[in-house]
Amino acid sequence: MTTATELPSLHESVAYVRQSGKPTAAEVLREARTAGRLALQPRCGVGSHPQMSTLLRDIEQHAAPDVLSVTIDAHTRLGRFDHARSVLDRNPADLNGYPLVTHGWRRGRELNEAVRAPLEIRHGSPDARVLFRTAVAAGITSFEGGGISYNLPYSKDVPLRRSLAAWREVDAACGELAELGLVVDRELFGTLTAVLMPPSVSLAVSVLEAVAAAREGVRCISVAYPQGGHAEQDVAALRAIPLLAARHLPAGVEVHPVLHEFMGVYPRERAHAEDLILYGALVARYGGATKLITKTYQEAYGIPDTRAIIDGLHLAARANSPLLAGWRLDEARIAEELEWILAEVDALVTPVLDSGLGLYDAIAAAFADGTLDIPFSASRHARSAVIPGRAEDGAIRILSAGALPLPRALRDRNTDALRTRPTDLYEALTKDIDHFPRLFGE
Q: How far apart are CA 311 and CA 278, in angstroms?
A: 12
User: Who contacts 44 (Cβ-Cβ below 8 Å, separation ≥6)?
Assistant: 55, 56, 59, 68, 69, 70, 71, 309
The set of residues, in sequence order, having a beta carbon less than 8 Å from that of 164 and lying 6+ positions away, is: 147, 148, 212, 360, 363, 364
Q: Locate the DSSP E strands across 161-253.
A: 185-189, 220-226
What's the start-to-end Cα distance of the chain, in Å? 46
Largest CA distance in the chain: 62
Q: Where are the beta strands (DSSP E) in 95-184?
A: 119-122, 142-144
Q: What three-state secondary structure class fits 258?
A: strand
Which listed residue (30, 33, 43, 77) is catalytic?
A: 77
* Rounded distance between C-alpha atoms, residue 390 and residue 245, angstroms: 27
| Identified catalytic residue from 144, 209, 216, 344 | 144
77 flagged as catalytic: yes
Cβ partners under 8 Å of residue 248, min gap 6: 207, 210, 211, 349, 353
Closest CA to 69 of 13, 16, 118: 118
Give catalytic status of residue 339 as yes or no: no
Rg, C-alpha atoms of the chain: 21
| CA-based nearest residue to 95, from 70, 115, 119 | 70
Residues labelled as active-site residues:
77, 144
